[in-house]
């Protein structure tokens, strides 16, 4: 963690909606005049798509499983180094994993490949990470410890699977069978690496549908925001003005002392109301820390 170069991470499983909710953050950043260094979690996969296919086959032959959720298929050293470097210097290295032709064509590359590593950070106010492992902790790596504001994006699991299946089949060129197989293959890593992160977050946003999602593997469409509620759990230690949110968000109610529930359509508004003061506070601390450095260098 660093006052001078803060890091915000939105962490969630594949299909949880971390990319989608990035729009709300971008809106907050624009309104506060913040320039961010944006990092996508998939950039820290260890293998390109063809390499991962090979690794999956090798693992299967050895009676093992490898998935995008675990430490074998992701470079947690590089992710932790980026967070550490950024918090110390305001700079770091990142690249992109290109999922689709639309993403790959501007780079003259194929889907399932990485762009070259590049330096990021110059002139930015904060680093914004969205992806799988913003709050990961393993025996070797502690990514969570570098994050100043950690947000969990966690639809209930049936909805998460529906979102993943529909997104991966309609935009990423995978078959329904292949996506289902990847959900099955990833389950152990999901429990070991993904879910523990949500106990380290400052806030979790959990979308809960109000329509039947009993069989996610046959779902034809993603339940809309109006067909869902969002359960927002804030860690006890953080300062949150619940009475203000209840007043501002029509249809909101408290389900526990630290848990606000809002209609799905109000998710963007709730994110802005809750997160804007927190992001302002990060910036105020950053300005204060910079002033102190300037003051010391004038001595």
Ligand X SMILES: Nc1ncnc2c1ncn2[C@@H]1O[C@H](COP(=O)(O)OP(=O)(O)OP(=O)(O)O)[C@@H](O)[C@H]1O
Ligand Y SMILES: O=C(CO)[C@H](O)[C@H](O)COP(=O)(O)O
Helix 18-32 vs helix 267-298: crossing angle, to nearest 10? 50
Q: Answer whether 165's CB lies under 8 Å from 219's CB.
A: yes
Least CB distance to ligand X at residue 97 (A): 9
Window 181-210: residues binding ligand X (CB under 6 A)? 207
Two tokens, residue 99: 């999922």
Q: Which does 49 bind (CB under 5 to 8 A by kind): ligand Y, ligand X, none?
A: ligand Y
* 167/202 with CB nearer ligand X: 167
Neighbouring-strand partners of residue 180: none
Window 101-140: residues binding ligand Y (CB under 6 A)? 112, 132
* 88/251 with CB nearer ligand X: 251
Among all chains, which residue has been given the structure tokens 């069989």? 215
Among all chains, which residue has been given the structure tokens 């090798």? 58
Options 56, 96, 99, 233; binder of ligand Y; rule CB under 6 A: 99
For residue 75, CA distances in Å to 136, 213, 254, 298 come to 12, 34, 39, 41
Window 73-112: residues binding ligand X (CB under 6 A)? none
Options 167, 185, 200, 266; binder of ligand X; rule CB under 6 A: 167
Nearest partner of 41 among 131, 147, 158, 117, judged by Cα: 131
Window 199-228: residues binding ligand Y (CB under 6 A)? none
β-pairing, 92-94 vs 118-120, is antiparallel
Q: Which does 222 bind (CB under 5 to 8 A by kind): ligand Y, ligand X, none?
A: ligand X
Counting residues that bind ligand Y (by CB under 6 A) gives 10
Least CB distance to ligand X at residue 15 (A): 4
Least CB distance to ligand Y at residue 133 (A): 9
Residue nearest to ligand X (CB): 17
Q: Which stretch binds ligand Y (CB under 6 A): 41-49, 203-211, 245-253, 285-293?
A: 41-49
Interacting residues toward ligand X by CB under 6 A: 12, 14-20, 42, 131-132, 163, 166-167, 207, 222, 225
What residues make contact with ligand Y under the rule CB under 6 A? 14, 42, 45, 49, 68, 97, 99, 112, 132, 172
């Amino acid at each position: 963690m660093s006052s001078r170069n803060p890091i915000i991470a939105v962490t969630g499983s594949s299909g949880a909606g971390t990319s989608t909710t990035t729009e709300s953050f971008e809106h907050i950043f624009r309104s506060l005049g913040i320039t961010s260094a944006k990092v996508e979690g998939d950039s820290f996969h260890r293998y390109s798509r063809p390499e991962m296919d090979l690794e999956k086959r090798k693992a299967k032959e050895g009676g093992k499983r490898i998935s995008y959720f675990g430490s074998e298929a992701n470079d947690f050293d590089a992710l932790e180094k980026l967070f550490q470097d950024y918090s110390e210097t305001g700079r770091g290295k990142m690249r992109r994993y290109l999922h689709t032709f639309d993403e790959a064509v501007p780079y003259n590359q194929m889907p399932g490949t990485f762009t070259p590593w590049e330096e990021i950070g110059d002139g930015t106010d904060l680093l914004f990470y969205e992806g799988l492992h913003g709050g990961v902790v393993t025996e070797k790596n502690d990514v969570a410890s570098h994050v100043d504001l950690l947000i969990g994006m966690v639809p209930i699991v049936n909805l998460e699977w529906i979102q993943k299946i529909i997104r991966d089949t309609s935009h990423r060129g995978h078959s329904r069978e292949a996506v289902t197989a990847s959900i099955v293959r990833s389950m152990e890593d999901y429990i070991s690496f993904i879910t523990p992160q949500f106990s380290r977050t400052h806030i979790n946003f959990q979308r809960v549908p109000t329509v039947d999602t009993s069989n996610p593997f046959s779902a034809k469409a993603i339940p809309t925001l109006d067909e869902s509620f969002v359960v927002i759990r804030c860690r006890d230690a953080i300062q949150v003005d619940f009475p203000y949110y209840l007043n501002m968000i029509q249809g909101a109610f408290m389900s526990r002392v630290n848990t606000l529930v809002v209609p799905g359509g109000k998710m963007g508004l709730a994110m802005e109301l809750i997160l804007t003061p927190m992001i302002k506070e990060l910036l105020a601390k950053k300005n204060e820390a910079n002033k102190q450095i300037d003051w010391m260098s004038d001595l």
